[in-house]
Amino acid sequence: MESLHLTMELCGQNKIKMAWSDRKYWSPAHYFVDAGLVKQASDSVREVLDGISTEIRQESLDSPVFHRRWLPQLAEAGAVLADQVFSPVDNDPGTAAQVKRIITEATEPIELTVSTDGSVHIPWAFLYRKDPYELDTQGQPDATTISDFSDFWLGIFKIYVRYSVTDLIRCSRSKRDTFRFLYALNKDLFNSALRVLPQDEQTTCSRLLSEEVGEVTTWAGCREKWRSIEGKNSIIYVFGHSDGDDIVLEGDTRITTAQFNFLFKKHEGASDTVCVLNGCRTGVGPLFDSFIKVTSGPGFHGFIGTEAEVANNFAASYGIELMKQICENGRSVGEAFESLQQEKFPTSLFYTCYANPEFRVPRPSE
């Protein structure tokens, strides 16, 4: 599989350095783009995603539907964003043109790893590589399928966004009994979502929660359990409500993003941890900034979060299957994330992998 690597770095307040490399064919090269325009275009994509996610939540259907009428609007916003990503403000434009040509002509999946300082949060999955005004949606079913996204970057790339420069994962050589699984749950929201899920998913959830360390419903309880396992390899799973600044668990038990960052910071960093934040939007804003800080620190290998708010029942279903594949089936984070992109469509569209795709938990028998 071909692979591209992009390193993004904010230079001053006005420009982003875009350094691309293809280890097979050409050496790293870079150009600069306008940071303000890239952010503006990214915000426009997220506005469309917010509209789609709001509609899905309001419809209250047993199975979520991404309606086809949204495609032209999302494609246009994605094309504008792609145009800004490949519009150099100085330097030789050859690098931008070369990368754009690779993407335009791609017929097989490409692995894309983005290393960034987190200064501008780009919804990479929704960049669009063709002319959005040529998109024909007439005479087709109202409900989209994953194949309708073949010209968005999510249909071209396996995308992983990284904020940590540390690639070494010690847990890859560890045994199952070195892992711990901490679930911080807003019990009211979680139980309400769980009740409407199929029985097999409820059974899987009970089995997952029975693993050591299990669930907590308050931040005080979470703090106590985390301190007892921070030296272990682990997955932290959070299912809560957020207003963008605070994360709420039981009742009105809440912590600010700064407190969240302080709570989960490792003192030694001699273990490996991945986080999953589910049930609320985490792709931008203060909550996102906090997650970048804590999950790119020593001992952490990133997190999985969302670009838009996801209905609680669909978020719970996604999270149960994700944890099942990672914690029970022995799949890596990357393998599980890729599998769910099709299996949990269209809910999967709202999730982004900000974690190291090579992170893996051994099967229970190992």
End-to-end alpha carbon distance in the chain: 29
Residues 250 and 188 in one domain: yes
CATH number, domain of 239, equals: 3.40.50
Please state the length of the chain. 366
Q: How far apart are CA 186 and CA 280, in angstroms?
A: 11
Structure tokens at 326: 């990672």
Give yes or no: residues 112 and 199 share one domain: no
- Across the chain, mean pLDDT equals 89
Residue pair 182/212 in contact (Cβ under 8 Å)? The answer is: no
101 lies in the same domain as 222: no
In this structure, what token pair is assigned to residue 277? Answer: 């934040």
In this predicted structure, which of 101-105, 289-293, 316-320, 323-327 has the lowest mean pLDDT?
Answer: 289-293
Which residues span the domain enclosing 279? 170-353
Residue 333 corresponds to which tokens in the numbers above?
Answer: 């984070």
Predicted local distance difference test score (pLDDT) of residue 256: 81
151 and 246 share a domain?
Answer: no
Same domain, 305 and 206: yes
Asked if residue 49 has pLDDT above 90, the reply is: yes
Cα 301 to its chain centre, rounded Å, is 13
Please tell me whether residues 179 and 74 are part of one structural domain.
no
Angle separating helix axes 35-59 and 71-85, nearest 10 degrees? 160
Taking the C-alpha atoms of residue 357 and residue 9, their distance in angstroms, rounded to an integer, is 22
Domain contains 136:
yes
Q: Domain for residue 358, yes or no?
A: no
Is residue 363 in some structural domain?
no
Tokens of 237: 């799973």
Question: Do 88 and 212 share a domain, yes or no?
Answer: no
| Domain membership flag for residue 365 | no
The model's pTM: 0.93
pLDDT tens per residue, range 243-297: 667 788 876 678 887 888 888 888 777 899 999 988 766 666 666 776 777 888 8
Out of 120, 143, 162, a domain closes at: 162
Q: How many domains does the chain have?
A: 2
Cα 284 to Cα 120: distance, rounded to the nearest angstrom:
9
289 and 305 assigned to the same domain: yes
Is 135 within a domain? yes
| 251 Cβ contact list (under 8 Å, min separation 6) | none
- Domain end marker among 95, 129, 162: 162
Nearest one of 183, 191, 205 to 275, comparing CA atoms: 183
Residues 186 and 303 in one domain: yes
Point out the domain boundary residue: 111, 131, 162: 162
Are 91 and 118 in a shared domain?
A: yes
310 within 8 A of 318, measured Cβ to Cβ: yes
pLDDT in tens, 77-99: 999 999 999 999 987 788 899 89
State the maximum Cα–Cα separation within the chain, in Å, rounded to a whole number. Answer: 59
197 shares a domain with 122? no
